[in-house]
């Protein structure tokens, strides 16, 4: 029996169906107001910068890695518009996302960066950005390191008779660098990504063009609402977690929603594109908050 898919026509109609809603979205995400729903959708997704690319055929230098990390940490617990508003000054401060420049500035950079990414997590995010710069300044080849993690993950899964999809691989690497399981080997870099759990690590990988769902609170809530518990996906998530040496419930849940979102995406679309539309719908339309009655 075919499983139901994410209802993208409904999501798009709610997000982009009226001129008023399009104006609200354009203002919130700091993009030009477009006359057509398709134009606004494309403009917002372009601002996220997560077009998917074949991982093995794409090489990122440490500057591109640093940019992906900064934009991931910059999205943490703040409106994307707030990050975009400060990004030009952030680019200037960091020498166009140069980890060497940022590392030389050091602790002074953290204070300046904190002012450019306002919010309750700004201090921790700024310190994590500097930690990323210092890590990349002392060691080259983080892109190769990520690919070595992919190979190790693939080998471990194959030993259990599991062939990973590209979206599962993204979720697995996000889990590994977000949680640093004890049983997983460390390599040229510290395994744990500074300032990132699995969710932000997923955003980081998608900023590099990797394909996958980022199961943050909005996405998890909506997937739980739309689809009953999928036993097969739950068992798959448990098996994948075991392959990297963890049985933690939060690890399994992260993999479960990552896999579920990818499986229920309409065919022919980039998975990260679908995820961003679901996320927008959860953040802007179906927020989970109860409507307040008028006095």
From residue 211, how far is each of 46, 202, 247, 255, 287 by CA, in Å? 15, 9, 24, 14, 25
Phi, psi of 276 (to 5 degrees): -65, -35
Closest to 208 (Cα-Cα) out of 158, 262, 170, 248: 170
Alpha-carbon span 170 to 178, nearest angstrom: 12
Alpha-carbon span 247 to 249, nearest angstrom: 6
26 three-class SS: helix
Alpha-carbon span 171 to 85, nearest angstrom: 30
Closest to 60 (Cα-Cα) out of 210, 208, 166: 208
Residue 256 and residue 219 in contact, taking contact as beta carbons nearer than 8 Å: no
Alpha-carbon span 198 to 195, nearest angstrom: 10
Query: For the purposes of burial, counting CB atoms within 10 Å of the CB of 199, is it exposed (0-12), middle (13-18) or buried (19 or more)?
Result: buried
Alpha-carbon span 272 to 45, nearest angstrom: 10
From residue 34, how far is each of 45, 129, 156 by CA, in Å? 13, 34, 47
Alpha-carbon span 253 to 21, nearest angstrom: 33
Q: pTM above the 0.85 mark? A: yes
Local confidence pLDDT in tens for the 295 residues of the chain: 689 999 999 999 999 999 999 999 988 888 887 778 999 999 999 989 999 999 999 999 999 999 999 999 999 999 888 899 999 999 999 999 999 999 998 878 899 999 999 999 999 999 999 999 999 998 889 999 999 999 999 999 999 999 999 999 999 999 999 999 887 777 778 899 999 999 999 999 999 999 999 999 999 999 999 999 999 999 999 999 999 999 999 999 999 999 999 999 999 999 999 999 999 999 999 998 754 333 2
């Amino acid at each position: 029996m075919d499983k139901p898919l994410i209802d993208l026509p409904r999501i798009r109609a709610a997000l982009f169906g009226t001129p008023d809603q399009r104006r609200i979205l354009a203002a919130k995400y700091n993009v030009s107001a477009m006359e057509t729903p398709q134009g606004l959708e494309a403009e917002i997704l372009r601002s996220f910068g997560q077009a998917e690319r074949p991982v093995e055929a794409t090489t990122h230098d440490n500057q591109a890695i640093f940019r992906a990390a900064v934009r991931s940490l910059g999205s943490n617990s703040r409106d994307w518009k707030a990050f975009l508003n400060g990004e030009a000054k952030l680019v200037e401060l960091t020498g166009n996302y140069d980890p060497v420049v940022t590392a030389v500035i050091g602790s002074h950079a953290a204070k300046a960066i904190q002012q450019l990414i306002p919010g309750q997590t700004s201090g921790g995010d700024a310190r994590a950005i500097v930690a990323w710069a210092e890590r990349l300044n002392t060691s080259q080849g983080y892109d190769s390191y990520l690919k070595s993690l992919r190979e190790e993950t693939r080998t471990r899964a194959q030993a259990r008779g599991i062939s990973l999809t590209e979206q599962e691989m993204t979720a697995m690497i996000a889990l590994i660098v977000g949680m640093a399981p004890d049983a997983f080997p460390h390599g040229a870099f510290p395994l744990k990504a500074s300032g990132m759990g699995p969710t932000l690590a997923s955003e980081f990988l998608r900023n590099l063009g990797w394909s996958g769902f980022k199961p943050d609170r909005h996405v998890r809530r909506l997937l739980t609402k739309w689809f009953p518990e999928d036993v097969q996906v739950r068992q798959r998530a448990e098996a994948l977690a075991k392959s990297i040496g963890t049985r933690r419930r939060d690890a399994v849940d992260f993999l479960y929603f990552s896999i579920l979102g990818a499986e229920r995406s309409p065919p022919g679309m980039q998975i990260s594109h679908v995820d961003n539309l679901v996320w927008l719908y959860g953040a802007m339309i179906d927020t989970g908050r109860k409507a307040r009655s008028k006095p």
